[in-house]
Amino acid sequence: MSGAWPWIAVALLGAYHGVDPSMGWLFAVALGLQDRSRRRVIAALAPIAIGHLVSIAAVVALVAGAMAGGFVWLRPLGAIVLIAFGIFRLRRPLAHPRWVAMRVGFRDLALWSFLMATAHGAGLMLFPILMAMPAEGQSVAAMPHHHMPMLAPGGHLGPLAAGVVIAVHTGAMLLVMGAVAIAVYEWIGLKILRSAWINLDTIWAVALIAAGALSLVI
């Protein structure tokens, strides 16, 4: 598989996390309202994006490293992690990190965002996309020693490609998060939460499981 779609998917996932109130924009708006300062809203975006980035990067780096090392169990292992995490999210839909509170500095916010993204499985969802990234210099067909397609290690994700994945995802997240945060702070108001904060947890959990299954066949 190749072409632009993995990049589009990476960006769309980023945008999705940007829209999700629990991933960061709501915290930025809350801090701005507390201090009556739009600058506070904007200042909160960077640490939130950095925390998100680190969470994503951890997964991408693990996958890229495993690919580079020719780890043959990467595909099934990744699939199992995704499916297991999806099942956990289904069984404990109300579970959420309990950390920090309203008085947060740069480091607190970044760490909070890292925890939220990790607990959400934000990086995990990239796994099937990473597995489908265009191979650089090798292909499944060129590796005859892999008889079972399930154990095909997928593409080789070079450091550059890995970096671009992280940048595209976090960039899209930051753009959308920033736009939503400013729009809600300046014009829309928090009443929007009461109607628009749709519970996508179940859908997200099912999507994690589906992504796990998909990564076995992609």
| Contact residues for other proteins, defined by CB under 8 A | 21-22, 26-27, 29-30, 33-34, 36, 92-104, 112, 190-191, 193-195, 197-199, 201-202
How far apart are CB 13 and other proteins at their closest, in Å? Answer: 20
One-letter amino acid of 166: I
147's tokens = 């008889």
How far apart are CB 199 and other proteins at their closest, in Å? Answer: 4
Shorter beta-carbon distance to other proteins: residue 73 or 197: 197
How far apart are CB 42 and other proteins at their closest, in Å? Answer: 16
Shorter beta-carbon distance to other proteins: residue 147 or 199: 199
How far apart are CB 55 and other proteins at their closest, in Å? Answer: 16
Shorter beta-carbon distance to other proteins: residue 60 or 109: 109
Residue 145: phi and psi, rounded to 5, are -75, -10
Per-residue CA distances from 187 to 15, 97, 198 (Å): 21, 30, 20
Shorter beta-carbon distance to other proteins: residue 70 or 93: 93
Per-residue CA distances from 142 to 72, 100, 138, 139, 164 (Å): 15, 50, 6, 5, 26
